[in-house]
Amino acid sequence: MYSIAIPSYNRPTVETLAAIAGLPKEVKRYVFVNDKEEAKLYRANMANASAQVTSLGCKRGIQYARNAILDYFPKGAEIVTLCDDVESLQTLDPIGDKLRLLTPKEWHQLILGGFDQAHRYGTKLWGVYPVANHFYMSWKVSTKAFIIGTFSGIIVSDIRHDERLELKEDYDFSLKHIHRYSGVIRYNNICVKAKHYKNKGGCVGYRTTEKEQNAIRILKSLYPKNVVDNPRRENEILLKFSKVK
pLDDT tens, N- to C-terminus, the chain (245 residues): 999 999 999 999 999 999 999 999 999 999 999 999 999 999 998 877 789 999 999 999 999 999 999 999 999 999 999 999 999 999 998 876 789 999 999 999 999 999 999 999 999 999 999 999 999 999 999 999 999 999 999 999 999 999 999 999 999 999 999 999 999 999 999 999 998 545 554 455 556 899 999 999 999 999 999 999 999 888 999 999 987 54
The DSSP letter of residue 202 is G
- The count of structural domains within the chain is 1
Q: Has residue 72 been placed in a domain?
A: yes
CA distance 242 to 245: 9
Q: Has residue 228 been placed in a domain?
A: no
Q: Has residue 33 been placed in a domain?
A: yes
Cβ contact 198:15 at 8 Å:
no
Model-level pTM greater than 0.85? yes
> Which CATH number fits the domain that encloses residue 72?
3.90.550.10
Q: Has residue 204 been placed in a domain?
A: no
Q: Has residue 64 been placed in a domain?
A: yes
Q: Has residue 209 been placed in a domain?
A: no
Cβ contact 83:150 at 8 Å:
yes
Could you tell me the residue range of the domain that residue 27 belongs to? 3-196
**CB-based contacts of 99, cutoff 8 Å, min separation 6:** 90, 91, 92, 93, 132, 134, 191
Beta bridge pairs of residue 151: 82
